[in-house]
Structure 1
Amino acid sequence: MPETPEVLFVCVHNAGRSQMAAALLDHHAAGRVRVRSAGSAPASEINPAVVAVMDELGLDLSKEFPKPLTGEAVKGADVVITMGCGDVCPVFPGKRYLDWELPDPAGKPVEQVRPIRDEIDRRVRELFAELVPAH
């Protein structure tokens, strides 16, 4: 693992789960991990309920936007975390892949998106502790 590991979060639309995960890891890592997110079929905008639940934590996603998944992004990452994108994610040898099965927040109200956010936060904290062990 390099000094500053890079993590790529991937979901289909890059409008919900992967955006939340990227923002949460970026927040907890405070520069000690490079974080990116992408979608295999990016949406036109981030899910408004996702923006709202992240805002509750003081994390502003209003300037973020869904980004397309590229082979370069996967190649540059040390850890690739997929969230319901199935077989569309390119696989490169030597990468660490994790698949997080999480409900899709699309079309759900804020009350139903909050528990998804909280579960992502729990997993992100565990991942961060693995990637950057406390000295």
Structure 2
Amino acid sequence: MPESPQPAESDLHSLVQRMEQLRKDFHQQLVEPRQYWQLHYGPVRIRRRLSSRTVTSTFLSFWLLTLAAGLAAIFFDSTQELGIALVVAAVFTAGSFLIQLWTAQIEVEHSLYSQLSDARQREMLETYAKEMNAIAARIAALDPQYEL
């Protein structure tokens, strides 16, 4: 018969599970809503979830398909120059558009993580300040002449 887990192991396991759930909740509540992009043109409204990874994957897929089409067009003499010109134009056009989207999405994600990091640093500073104030009060109680 296997031994039952020690209370500390059980607590650790439940804490790890809770931490994983908090990470999932955090991502669903704070990160995912900021990954939606919208396009409004007259009555047409398009709303899609689009992270920087999705934009990067789309760009790389498009680039690979364009490269394959360009390489295939090279073998047809009648459309060789036109095919190459169209492929080059498509690559530059789509590439510049997708990179601008990617840059904007990265900025949103970095801003969110920066805000969270700033909040964490504020909490740390408050903890240090409380402890330093408590120590300063104890020092002042022991020696009122001591200057900090």
Q: TM over 0.5: same fold?
A: no
Question: Hey, which of these two has a bigger chunk of strand by percent?
Answer: 1
Question: Hey, which of these two has a bigger chunk of helix by percent?
Answer: 2
TM-score (norm 1): 0.28
Higher relative contact order (CA 8 A, sep 6+): 1
